[in-house]
Structure 1
């Protein structure tokens, strides 16, 4: 290393540069250069990490600092003799990292100066090394305290109902007329970052269109419509997610990825989120109840939570029906021959295309009893609208049962605790296997009863909207396919009769509709 010419360098870093202009780092360079001239070590090379944090991540690793790493490489190469920094916390914010730096500086005889200190850290002396460590520790403590203050401030914001930032929750946000500048790709390098002015939203108010969408999901789900059917309806109507509507760029591992649209998990998260019921949340915890106007009621939210957690609820994937009568209309030929499915249920029909490309209903089992799908569905819809237009529609609604959803859910929690205690007692041989099985059976029975009580007390009846409607046809047309199918299941049994050969009778003579009791 002897005889090799070494340079005087300065290092500047700023943790957060929202403007992307690098002004903070440039100010440090200017002061470093002035200080270097004063002490006789004019700066010959700059090292800059703009908008780069030196703080350790939760897993103990550090965020990449390209120019700091280049500086370390140049020290190893023996090309750096003097480093000037504005303050110790610009170079390091972690004791472990600064300890490694001290060892490296001593090995390669690198001198370190600080503008704020007004002189050199004499790293060859114990006192100089202690000073650098002390200044770094102080900076680390200040950073941790600042982080704690930020957490407390965010939690205080949540308690007061103020929005703490982050991705806009679906269902919330009203344009205030103001704008703010945001970075579209904050994890990219500073020179490639893009910025855009976006509207400032009042996050305490409902986005009217999205809030109505959430209520629509709630109504359908509590009426027994499957999540898959809700997703199919969203796709058919072209409803956009928050990311799609707000034109957010999604990235994974630094690469841009396509928006996948709605998923069942997203739907569940939105309708069961405490904020949807008007509560303020911080890190998953409700910190203030009734902080905002609710989109759905707390009882409805709790009922949805119970419904999604019900182990008897069918969640296995499968084809989502795209026609009104798929898997509902019964095959008249199989009924006449008294053929049934292995589970005892009647054989139903699905829709396929015939050799002419026309959609037809046909028996799932034998492939017979063919009927034009569009014509059958149109006829069934006319019959259903006529039935729903009658004045006695209110008589079809059951008497609503009053339930305490909160109390029932608390009882479910107690049952979970009891179930764990039974398992522990069995493992410790405090109870016999027979006694454990009896106790488990009682818990399962009560859990089923509670889920049924919650469902009966909070379920949205499919016919509810028709009781107050003056135009049954218009109301019917606004329903989702899933809601229409549930109404058909509830009110009637439809059988498609064999059409025979030759001149086939009109559709209304081939469709048998019998009211359910």
Structure 2
């Protein structure tokens, strides 16, 4: 059944005016449109009784236009007889929305006039509707050209260090105190759209908590290079992703799904991306260096690139270490004449340290770790801790070293292809591979030495055992293992199966800058 209409003599004539960008904020554009609309209304015998104006709001972005929504609501209530606009695109630049407007105007017998057209769009006739849609189509085409101009503007913004909008990056986005209106369902019919206020963020500034987390990631990775240990620490600290922190809904295939949480690929992208060092990026290319305050220094980012892009790294998680002592941290057996190293095994008592050769020791791992940690914390609280930290690393061109490694890997690959094509024999291939592998190993050793961060630096400002213990409590197991490896050699003897006797744990401090074994786990 058609809606009940109020007699046209009881309804009013109104105009609608809108401009997308009002840089000066003076609303001169909408006032100018209104003056022309008002004059046109007098000419056609339809004097205006009301005006609806949206200033500096686009008709093509799905953003809420309060006065436009009020106009549509008044039309639906049967209060409007005539609408005058300066041009059809003042109402909309979206053909689909234009069809909704036609349907609404026809349902409530509202007549539409355009100053630029010089007359009426007769929406009750196919020709009038076609004219209206044609003008909207032209406006949509012009919006496409505008999109190209916007793309160029985004590039200029990136070059000058300005943020062009979009989903915020982890570590960035400080609330400005302002809000903007956002449509939650822009594809819905006009009268069913829902709008919410969302905060306006300054994307050139750090979120201090997230920036601090990124620095922890960098420190952990450079200390032990174990992504699995880092991920475990992130889970234990309850670090939220951007989607979780901002309560964003994640959709796949149009359906809302659970947040996947952190993964190694995301962590790598964040700590190695140019943005983390303050560089402005457009389509993956740095177009302005040092555009923003850096979260990580550029040399740290380059070190992480060298570390995380090394194909020799083991990328499968394996067993994430849970205990402080292992053969890689220098744990040895005090009972074994064969020089066995201790590892953690499980028996009826629980996890125990025992020799991998003679299988002696069998000391409860939690008790041993507690004792070793107490010794480590006491040493870390001393004022002479700085003497254990190796001198500053020499300046190294990490980018050049990385490029050399990549080039050597390319040569090795080419040698393999040459062998497959019969151009070289197997002996030559093996010689080339052995030579390049040796050179790559030397380069990696230089990179590792240059990028290694001392795990002791976090304790330089602690002046008591309590303060050192507090810092120790914030560290991951991987970080603690590195500290133990730097500070001491641990020898485990046979002891009481249920209680710890400190005399059965021999701890020998390492000499300053003494070389240590390379971790293989």
* 1:158 Cα deviation from its structure 2 partner: 0.8
Query: Distance in 2 between the 1:320 and 1:409 partners?
Result: 28
* SS of residue matched to 1:348: strand
Within-5 A mapping of 1:73-152: 112-115=126-129, 117=131, 142-152=142-152
* 1:295 Cα deviation from its structure 2 partner: 0.8
Provide, for residues 35-60 of structure 1, a one-character-per-residue CA deviation record: whole Å limited to 9, x for no partner: xx9xxxxxxxxxxxx99977xxxxxx
Tell me what 2:344 maps to. Answer: 349
Tell me what 1:170 maps to. Answer: 170
Tell me what 1:384 maps to. Answer: 376
Query: Distance in 1 between the 2:194 and 2:136 partners?
Result: 33
Provide, for residues 263-320 of structure 1, a one-character-per-residue CA deviation record: whole Å limited to 9, x for no partner: 2222111111100011011222111111011111111111101101112222222232
Within-5 A mapping of 1:56-71: none
* 1:442 Cα deviation from its structure 2 partner: 3.8
Tell me what 1:305 maps to. Answer: 305
* SS of residue matched to 1:403: coil
Query: Distance in 2 between the 1:444 and 1:175 partners?
Result: 51
Query: Distance in 1 between the 2:504 and 2:372 partners?
Result: 11
Which of 63, 74, 89 is the equivalent residue of 1:18?
Answer: 63
Query: Distance in 1 between the 2:374 and 2:439 partners?
Result: 43
1:361 aligns with 2:352: yes
Tell me what 2:502 maps to. Answer: 508
- The change in CA–CA distance for 1:188 and 1:434 in structure 2 (over 3 A counts) is farther
Within-5 A mapping of 1:167-206: 167-184=167-184, 194-206=194-206
Provide, for residues 396-431 of structure 1, a one-character-per-residue CA deviation record: whole Å limited to 9, x for no partner: 333322212233234345445655665676677666
* 1:203 Cα deviation from its structure 2 partner: 1.0
- The change in CA–CA distance for 1:52 and 1:347 in structure 2 (over 3 A counts) is farther
1:451 aligns with 2:447: no
* 1:452 Cα deviation from its structure 2 partner: 2.3
Query: Distance in 2 between the 1:413 and 1:311 partners?
Result: 10
Provide, for residues 454-473 of structure 1, a one-character-per-residue CA deviation record: whole Å limited to 9, x for no partner: 22112211123334543465
1:228 aligns with 2:228: yes
Query: Distance in 2 between the 1:138 and 1:192 partners?
Result: 27
More off after superposition, 209-218 vs 193-202: 193-202
Tell me what 1:250 maps to. Answer: 250
Provide, for residues 137-192 of structure 1, a one-character-per-residue CA deviation record: whole Å limited to 9, x for no partner: 96675354233212111111111111111221111122211122234566788777
Query: Distance in 2 between the 1:154 and 1:303 partners?
Result: 30
TM-score, with length taken from structure 1: 0.67
More off after superposition, 462-471 vs 263-272: 462-471
Tell me what 2:16 maps to. Answer: none
- The change in CA–CA distance for 1:500 and 1:378 in structure 2 (over 3 A counts) is closer
Aligned alpha-carbon RMSD (Å): 4.4
TM-score, with length taken from structure 2: 0.67
Tell me what 1:8 maps to. Answer: none
Tell me what 1:11 maps to. Answer: none
Query: Distance in 2 between the 1:465 and 1:202 partners?
Result: 31
CA contact (8 A) 1:162 1:204 kept: yes
CA contact (8 A) 2:173 2:205 kept: yes
1:488 aligns with 2:484: yes
- Residue correspondences, number: 418
